[in-house]
Amino acid sequence: MLCQRCNKRPASVHMAEYINGKQREVHFCEKCVQETLSEALNGGSLSEMMGKLIGSVSPEAGGEEKTKSPAEQKNYECPVCGETYSGFTRDTLLGCPEDYFVFSNKISDVLSNTEIENPVHSGKLPSKSLEDTVNENIRQTLNIRIEKALENEDYESAAQIRDRLRSL
């Protein structure tokens, strides 16, 4: 996970802030915390220092965002797998678990604007209900395909899909 202030170094200091009863975690690298602490030790108060540090990444905490979020930087890439933000928006695929943190600010925006071809879960299932679940997933997928075929006025394909549904 990268520092939310500089977006360059790994975060080693993790803080939780509460705004209007909601918890939000913020993550900083050691260098950014040291810079802010040195300012506080030179005449500032600890509460002002904490406000500056959290405010640097959290506009709702009263500060202004000083740096762009990683996802807003066009050429930003994950330090672990090398996935870029532009590649993620193009393919809607993440390269590694770290990408969830790197692109956290924009994942929901990108996915909500994406038409998902097959919204059916395709992972592992419990063995006792495997056959029933697989058949239900096939039915859901075929129903989606029928709707698309009818929208495109492809009645032959819709009839073939309907027949396949009946055979299940």
Look at residue 39 in the predicted model and tell me its pLDDT: 65
Tens digits of residue pLDDT in 77-92:
777 778 887 777 776 6
Q: How far apart are CA 63 and CA 56, in angstroms?
A: 6
Q: How far apart are CA 18 and CA 65, in angstroms?
A: 18
Q: Which residues contact 158 (CB under 8 A, 6 or more apart)?
A: 146, 149, 150
pLDDT class for 29, splitting at 50, 70, 90?
Answer: confident
Look at residue 64 in the predicted model and tell me its pLDDT: 40
Burial class (CB in 10 A: 0-12, 13-18, 19+), 162: middle
More confident residue, 61 or 91: 91
Mean predicted confidence (pLDDT) in 68-84: 64
Look at residue 150 in the predicted model and tell me its pLDDT: 93
Going from N- to C-terminal start, the domains of the chain cover: 13-61, 70-112, 127-167
pTM assigned to the model: 0.31
